[in-house]
Chain A
């Protein structure tokens, strides 16, 4: 159901503007700083677009944000400071990877929590099963039962 009609919006976004995501003239001359800017851009949402990072988007707002990120980097901000600056200005919506806080605790906690819960459940189920009679150990068969098993195996035809 993915791309189906749905790409429609994308095309509108793409064609409405002659701009390209990450214009050559936006790029910083220092490759180290530019790499940092690209990495940061991938973590920031273009707020007027549908689930696109400012690195992918061609919207004018994304262009402005890309320039802004690069300005902050040139001014000597650390990655964290750039993100803080943008969050202060635009709210947490701008981050594609939400920060851990009380209202994202369930989001971040679920994957490890579920994994842990699964492991605990399996462990408990395993323990309970071990305690049950008829556990995987077939050692407690009586001599008569063993003879019966042997007989059954002899009579068993190939499947």
Chain B
């Protein structure tokens, strides 16, 4: 009964989405306030029904209802509850349900919190949002129905793919989807503005919080996926330039550009037409990402069950929405008025520079990902575009961007003072220079350019601190005054500093681990030792440890310093899942400051020889701490008063009231 209810609720949601997608637009054309006002209750009701469908699916998973094909294929009654829940989106149908649920959720949020939006803009935006939702709901109902039943229900499910039985699955896909789908709001608002043919700086004010929220989730989602791959795959890679990773990186790059250009639009009324285009492109790239992953046109380590009808359906969605949006843009954009002039050397100029490099980097990833596919289709030639290509092209685009980044926040609007900014960054530059010298003195191995990478990372971080120090007049006024100024800084200024500092951290981590990481591959026996960095690891023994639906063969290692001082123990394992007759390696990680010791096991041979992979990953944690800083920076910026959607205007009368005498 429950699966049928879920199925029915999804159909009702589709019906509501169709109403929400058409009636409000008709209302705006005919000036019919009643039709326009349908959008809000329809959006809320549509979300309610989608949520009902999602909960129904969740109920099937929790109760292990194996009469539902999707549950049978991807779950198992022996699995812990958390993995039974996460396996909802550990498969194609369920992950599309999650996608649509988040889409409807965002639509409902706009409906609920959009009280201060102009009615026409709100009606159009919610209608566009509903059109996207309707397309994907139709997609699920026709090609990817998660509620299909099996006539004779099996007694036990086939279990979730072992590698997905990991806390990473609880975190990574939902965050990533919140990011992908969150950008749909910016898209809907862009289309709404184009339909209306009117746009002003206030548009950026309404859209920026949504884009910022989506960007934060996407940042965390990508970082989470990167850490998951890092510890799960057994050799500590954190980024593979895999097509599916690229699919998540492209919206991130475009979204980052969007956030920055929206600042210019909001503050100065410039770059309107460009910002609209970026809003369209960012969500289009999210859709393309969905297409690439779900259709299986790309062969990738991530590629999964594929079905041509699904691919064609999503391709259709892609063509309609991206093609339609771009056509509308080409038609309407020339009618939008540009505004806000500025000199090349200015805050706006710096943000344009940022946009130029970010979009070029995004285009590079896009072409690199799709070029082999296009070339094979056109000429039949097979080529590969892999990590060496991306490292060779992406790096040179990102390094100048990062080197210029600290200048941006120090520039004035309209016309900046480059020399002044350079003077204020002198301390940061000296620090960066010293760190280059220090890095080349300490680490004599590794690529010659690596110390310069450290230098740029330090410059970026020190530049972010300089920005805050300049704004608070730190060291120039008494500390108390500086602290008061720091507390009074707009949260968005803190947000910028945090996010930029985070980028520097991430770069430092990437440089450290790729240039100076070390690796030991060996076959050892019980009692043998391996040395890496300043540590000696000894294999004390092997033992079996049963888990809920798996069995671990654990290697027990003692970690000591070279002088014999005990540091701790590490227990990497081989994990065997009887239900799928599969084994995966569970690496053991030990953090030493920001660095990590990384240890994974191969299958021991019968005569007791254990293959071992041992790594030292210097500063590796900086990569993800940096992403956390970016997230916090986004959060600070989001909490800035001027961006809080529906925030009540500051009550001017209130302070006066408190000043009245108490008598």
Contact of B388 among A1, A24, A97 (CB under 8 A): A97
Interface size on B, residues (CB 8 A): 86
Whether A10 pairs with B233 at a CB distance below 8 angstroms is: yes
B316 in contact (CB, < 8 A): no
Given contacts A115-B357, A129-B341, contact A93 B382 (CB under 8 A): yes
Whether B387 pairs with A96 at a CB distance below 8 angstroms is: yes
Contact of B384 among A1, A5, A95 (CB under 8 A): A95
**Surface stretch bound by A, among B147-155, B161-169, B490-498:** B161-169
Given contacts A3-B229, A95-B383, contact A135 B341 (CB under 8 A): yes
Whether B584 pairs with A11 at a CB distance below 8 angstroms is: yes
Question: Can you name 23 A-B residue pairings with CB atoms under 8 Å?
Answer: A1-B293, A1-B294, A2-B242, A2-B302, A4-B89, A5-B90, A5-B305, A8-B164, A8-B304, A13-B301, A14-B585, A18-B602, A20-B613, A49-B301, A50-B303, A51-B299, A53-B386, A93-B384, A95-B384, A98-B384, A103-B381, A103-B383, A111-B397
Whether A136 pairs with B173 at a CB distance below 8 angstroms is: no
Whether B385 pairs with A98 at a CB distance below 8 angstroms is: yes
A50 to B92 alpha-carbon distance, docked (Å): 20
A61 in contact (CB, < 8 A): no
CB within 8 Å of A: which B509-560 residues: 521-523
Whether B90 pairs with A42 at a CB distance below 8 angstroms is: no
A111 to B396 alpha-carbon distance, docked (Å): 10
A43 to B391 alpha-carbon distance, docked (Å): 11
Query: Which residues of chain B are near A94, meaning CB under 8 Å?
Result: 384
Interface size on A, residues (CB 8 A): 56
**Surface stretch bound by B, among A69-77, A118-126, A143-151:** A118-126
Top-10 shortest CB links A-B: A6-B302, A96-B386, A97-B388, A5-B304, A11-B163, A93-B382, A111-B364, A1-B293, A2-B225, A118-B356
Most chain B beta carbons < 10 A, residue from A5, A45, A126: A5
Contact of B244 among A2, A23, A43, A96 (CB under 8 A): A2
Whether A104 pairs with B161 at a CB distance below 8 angstroms is: no
Given contacts A51-B242, A107-B367, contact A8 B382 (CB under 8 A): no
Most chain A beta carbons < 10 A, residue from B237, B386, B602: B386
Whether B290 pairs with A1 at a CB distance below 8 angstroms is: yes
A56 in contact (CB, < 8 A): yes
Most chain B beta carbons < 10 A, residue from A51, A92, A93: A51
A65 in contact (CB, < 8 A): no
Given contacts A27-B521, A106-B371, contact A92 B381 (CB under 8 A): yes
CB within 8 Å of B: which A1-51 residues: 1-15, 18, 20-24, 27, 42-43, 45, 49-51
Given contacts A1-B247, A1-B248, contact A92 B383 (CB under 8 A): yes
A91 in contact (CB, < 8 A): yes
Query: Which residues of chain B are near A122, meaning CB under 8 Å?
Result: 352, 356
Given contacts A20-B521, A110-B367, contact A1 B385 (CB under 8 A): no
Residue on A nearest B382 in the bound complex, by CB: A93
Whether B244 pairs with A1 at a CB distance below 8 angstroms is: yes
B392 in contact (CB, < 8 A): yes
A23 to B95 alpha-carbon distance, docked (Å): 37
Whether B388 pairs with A96 at a CB distance below 8 angstroms is: yes
Mask for B407-431, Cβ within 8 A of A = 1, else 0? 0000000110000000000000000
CB within 8 Å of B: which A62-103 residues: 91-98, 103
